[in-house]
Structures are given as structure tokens and as C-alpha cells.
Amino acid sequence: MGKKGKKKSKETGTPDVQKFKKTREFWLLKECVTIQESLPFVAMDVLDDLAFMKVARFLNMVGLLAEHLQVNTKKDYRFNYHHKYLAPTPQFFPFGYDVDVIRQARLVQEKPGITYNGQEYQFAESLRTLSEKFLKEIDSYMTKIASEIEPRLKDDFATGLKRFKVDLKEDLEIFDQMWIKYEQEYVKARHEILTQVFQQVDRLVTLEMMLTQAEERLDVEAKQALENELVREIEKFTRYLCPDLPHEDFPEDVIPLAEACIFYESKCTEEWLHLAKYLIKDYLELRIYISKIPEERLKPQLKENQQLMRLLRSFHESVLASRVALDFVSRLPRLIHAKTSNWMTKKLLEPDLRYIQKTAHLA
């Protein structure tokens, strides 16, 4: 005879409870209790990566329970106070509880400020006080939520499943409000700091947009003035991020003169034309990158944006390499008095740039 199969454990509780035990919500409750047993205290313990993973897991369970019990509070501030240049792009319908808020609250509590690009930005004392209070409340409520769930799992929801869900929802609503109160203040403070961090980036994006608009209007005087202003800002920004570059100033009218090299090609040497074309290519690549910053975003530690750093360095090198050619055409009649059509614009040159980039590996 074959061996008899193991007996199934007897189901306990009322029919509603037995049915509830087969749901995802019941599994979330059990998981909350299991995780809480080994949770660290976020206000005082030293937290390594594993500890943060445990806290993140618990917060994820709490977020899913809150969603299931329809703790529907708006968290639009996460989107509204996410800086327009900060990577990654924020969620449009944010919910749940991100462990990074706890990580940042600990940072605010422990340090007077945060450093970006070698410069320290101070936190307000009120935020530090709020951070300390928030972390203690988190510890208290993570313990409270699990301790209210555990006895009900053991006694098969003796007080009634409906009563349990009402009580749990009340606890989650208090937790949610406590979280929102702190996170809202934190993201506001972070937005103020990041506005300072991205100040030069904002200037570049604004100038590039104004330049594009001048090109579309074929307003040549405005185009050349904005080209010069944009290049000056790029030079300043590059020196800020790359202090190791040669201490050699850019000449005046860099881009109008590069365009003049092409216009006066019969008067220039092959080498000068080659250098001018490379300068225009590097300039155009940088402009296109700048124009896409609002969509593709940046890391606030600006040197970590590798493509930005490469484009800034390439353009800087191209300008300095072209000094002799630019100096020569600066003595010829000004382009605005000699040229009447086919002005160099981003829209006109983008197809050529795409071709150059596509065939670069064949060179």
C-alpha cells in the first residue's frame, strides 16, 4: 500500500476569517509581524545596508496595506517639490513610503548640512528637530502596528475581522499623516537647496531656449548676442566643474567667428576650417544636450553626469584649439554685415550632426 498523504492542518476561525486567510492582505499582515521581529530602531541604531533593506521591506508592506484599506491621502507634494532638473523623473501618482526618507532624516539629524559639488548647504535647525521627532515616531509606530496585528493573527481575529480592519486603518492613517508631515517639510527644504545647486544649469537651459527662439525668428542680432552670452556661461560653468583646465580665457564672439570661418573659407587654411567645423560640432552637441536637460534630468553631484562633463571638456578644448583661426576672421568684415542668408542654426545643422555621429566609426 502507498503511504498516506500528510493531513492538512485544520482551518480555524469563522468562515469569513478562513476565507480572509487565503487573501494577499492576510499574507501582508503575517509578513509585517515577521519583519518587525528583527527591525532596527531607526532613531538610534547603526544601520547597514541589510538593516535599511529590512526597514524598506516593512514600509513596503505597510504601504500595500494602506492602499488595500484605502488610506487615500494625496502626496502630490512629492511631484510638486521634485526639482525640475533632478534625476530621476518623479512618479506622477506617488504612493507608499520610501525608505530614503528615513535615510535622509538620519542625515539631517546627524549633520548640519549636505555637500554638493564641494559646497555645503545648511539645513534649518527646525528641520533637524523635526527629523529627530519623526524618527522616534517611526520607531514607535512600526512597533505599534506589528504589535496590534500579531495577537489578532493568533486568536483568529477574536474581536471580529471588521473591527480589526477599522482599528488597523486608524493606525495606518495616523502613521500616514505623521509621514506626510515630515516628508513634506523635507522635500520643501531639499527643493530650496537644489534650486541653488542647479542655478547655473538653469541659466544655461534658459539661454539655450532663448537662443533657439531667436534662431526660429531669424533675429540675427539677438542670435549672435545670445550665442556670446551662452558661451560665456558655459565657460564659467566648465571652470567651476573642471578647475584643472588651462587658465586661458575664451576669445570674444566664439560662435559668430566660427560661423565666419565657414563663410570666409576661401581665406582660411584647411587646418583652420577643420578646427572651426569641430568647434561648431562640439558646440551643437552641447546645445542639444542642454536643451534636453528638463526631460532627461541631472544628478545633483554634477560631476557624476558623465556625458555633460565630456561635452563641456570637448567644447572647451575646441575653443582653445581654434584661437588662431578665430583671431584671423575677427579682422575680416563682421559676418552680420557680409552674410544675408543660410545662417547657422541648431535646426539647420542637426541633420549634418546626426550624419557625422552616425559615420564617426568609419573615420
d(CA 338, CA 141): 75
Q: Please name which of 182, 21, 17 lies closest in space to residue 104, comparing C-alpha atoms.
A: 182
The half-sphere exposure of 296 on its side-chain side, counting CA atoms within 13 A, is 10
d(CA 230, CA 211): 8
Residue 57 has a pLDDT of 94
CA-angle at 206, arms to 202 and 212, nearest 5°: 145
Strands (E) in 189-280, as ranges, are none
Residue 114 in contact with residue 193, Cβ under 8 Å?
A: yes
Residue 90 has a pLDDT of 84
CB-count burial class (<10 Å; 0-12, 13-18, 19+) for 324: exposed
Q: How far apart are the first and last CA of the chain?
A: 79
Q: Please name which of 96, 109, 107 lies closest in space to residue 175, comparing C-alpha atoms.
A: 96
Residue 301 in contact with residue 197, Cβ under 8 Å?
A: no
What are the cell numbers at 236? Answer: 564659467
Task: Give the H or E element holding residue 141.
Answer: helix 125-154
Residue 357 has a pLDDT of 67
Longest dimension (CA), the chain: 107
DSSP string across 290-304? HHHHHHH-B-SSGGG
Residue 5 has a pLDDT of 52
The tens place of each residue's pLDDT in the chain, 363 residues long, gives 445 555 556 778 788 888 988 999 999 999 999 998 899 999 999 999 999 999 999 999 999 999 999 998 888 999 999 999 999 988 777 788 999 999 999 999 998 899 999 999 999 999 999 999 999 999 999 999 999 999 999 998 888 999 999 999 999 999 999 999 999 999 999 999 999 999 999 999 999 999 999 999 999 999 999 999 999 999 999 999 999 998 899 999 999 999 999 999 999 999 999 999 999 999 999 999 999 999 999 999 999 999 999 999 999 999 999 999 999 999 999 999 988 888 999 998 888 777 666 665 444
Residue 116 in contact with residue 197, Cβ under 8 Å?
A: yes
Instruction: Give the list of residues 6+ apart from residue 253 with CB closer than 8 angstroms, or none.
Output: 224, 228, 326, 330
Q: Is the dihedral of CA 145, 146, 148, 149 positive or negative?
A: positive
d(CA 218, CA 233): 23
Residue 8 has a pLDDT of 58
d(CA 193, CA 333): 47
Residue 330 in contact with residue 256, Cβ under 8 Å?
A: no
Residue 12 has a pLDDT of 80
